[in-house]
Amino acid sequence: QAATETPPAAGTAAAGVPAAPPATGTLALELGAGSERLSSPLIRLSPDGTLVFVDGLTRIDGSFRRVVVSGVRDVPLGDSTRMTVGGRLDEKSSPDAPDLGFRFASLDAIVRRPAGGGTLGIGPSLQRIWVAGRHFRDVAALHVDWTRVEPERGYTAWVAELGTNRHRGVHADLDGNVLAVSTHRKSKQPFPWLDGLDFDAGVRREVNANGFADLASRSAWARVSADRRFAGATWSVGAMLQRAWFDAALFDDTPARRDRYRLLDAAVEIELAPRRTLRVEAIDARNSSTLALYENRYRLVGVTLTLGW
């Protein structure tokens, strides 16, 4: 008599126990290009340590190329629990202005399960950042989020992260411990003439690990964006405001640093094929500060082709 073997999924279904859903995942590749400019007041440090303004601005501008690879894998752990593993590598190079070069890598592993009418997630989050080709910062954080999805209306999410920022070499003075809390609300068709409305807001507290009060800060930010489908494309505009308050002054004869940051962006996205999109965007951002050393303006115009699987 020939022996037969029943697949596990079939066996559990026959016994009246629903089979766990299979693991799922997505992968995306972004290819971008454009131009950007960063400008700030021209300042020199005199021999006695005083900041001196010089007529004109210092500018860094040039074209850039950008490649982003990102992926998410969702793995059931049994019952209603699952693990979401996500990774991202973002590489931006600027041959004309190497100081604008940037690289970002992240890895998250979040365990999720139903809680309180939504989904609760908790797990580690790791990041590494390079600026101008040099290793700049490592971030390690405990990530907690709660999300409620309303299929016809959108979703609401709350996120909290407790983490550490660590730096290499001469940047070690910037080491800090950070607590951040934020919320995100996505609304579908909130008005007949609008397809989507997003609202984000958050607060952040950073305490310098070396005890430097001038590098410890509190900040709060909010962002709103809207999009509409028109003429075969999705058009969107957004605005962000952020305020930051530092605990102490950098110099004895100056006030404690206060920053005011605002960002405006606009984009149009065209779907070329399923999971194939082309996006054109423009960004204008400005930071004003009580310490002119930190004032700057940033502009970007770029185009991105996204391929998804």
Residue 1 in this model has a pLDDT that exceeds 80: no
Distance CA 237, CA 282 (A): 10
Q: Which of 245, 217, 238 is nearest to 285 (CA)?
A: 238
User: What phi and psi, each to the nearest 5 degrees, are found at residue 293?
Assistant: -55, -25
**pLDDT score of 223:** 98
Weakest-pLDDT range from 125-129, 167-171, 295-299:
167-171
Q: Are 53 and 103 in contact (CB under 8 A)?
A: no
Q: Which amino acid is at 282?
A: A
Weakest-pLDDT range from 41-45, 149-153, 215-219:
41-45
**pLDDT score of 29:** 98
53: left (phi over 0), alpha (psi -120 to 50) or beta: beta
Determine the average pLDDT of the residues in 90-117: 93
CA distances from 242 to 178, 202, 259 (A): 17, 9, 8
Residue 256 in this model has a pLDDT that exceeds 50: yes
Residue 59 pLDDT grade (very low, low, confident, very high; cuts 50, 70, 90): confident
Q: Which tops the pLDDT comparison, 106 or 169? A: 106
Residue 48 pLDDT grade (very low, low, confident, very high; cuts 50, 70, 90): very low
Residue 100 pLDDT grade (very low, low, confident, very high; cuts 50, 70, 90): confident
User: What phi and psi, each to the nearest 5 degrees, are found at residue 227?
Assistant: -140, 155
Name the maximum alpha-carbon separation found in the chain. Answer: 97
Determine the average pLDDT of the residues in 58-81: 92
Determine the average pLDDT of the residues in 10-28: 59
Residue 21 in this model has a pLDDT that exceeds 70: no
Residue 43 in this model has a pLDDT that exceeds 60: no
> Which residue spans within the chain are E strands per DSSP?
24-45, 51-78, 81-93, 102-115, 118-131, 134-150, 154-167, 176-191, 194-208, 217-230, 233-246, 258-273, 276-289, 296-308
Mean per-residue pLDDT of the chain: 88
Q: Are 145 and 158 in contact (CB under 8 A)?
A: yes
**pLDDT score of 118:** 96
Q: Which tops the pLDDT comparison, 41 or 273? A: 273
Determine the average pLDDT of the residues in 102-125: 96
Distance CA 171, CA 169 (A): 5
Looking at residue 304, the DSSP 8-state letter turns out to be: E
Tokens found for residue 128: 């590494």
Q: Which of 106, 112, 107, 105 is nearest to 74 (CA)?
A: 112
Residue 294 in this model has a pLDDT that exceeds 90: no
Residue 4 pLDDT grade (very low, low, confident, very high; cuts 50, 70, 90): very low
**CB count in 10 Å sphere of residue 294:** 18
**pLDDT score of 144:** 98
Distance CA 41, CA 255 (A): 18
Weakest-pLDDT range from 2-16, 152-166, 221-235, 282-296:
2-16
Distance CA 135, CA 129 (A): 6
Residue 46 in this model has a pLDDT that exceeds 50: no
**pLDDT score of 254:** 81
Tokens found for residue 107: 């890895």
Distance CA 240, CA 31 (A): 25
Determine the average pLDDT of the residues in 86-101: 91
**pLDDT score of 20:** 52
Tokens found for residue 184: 């995100």
Q: Are 234 and 228 in contact (CB under 8 A)?
A: yes
Determine the average pLDDT of the residues in 118-141: 95
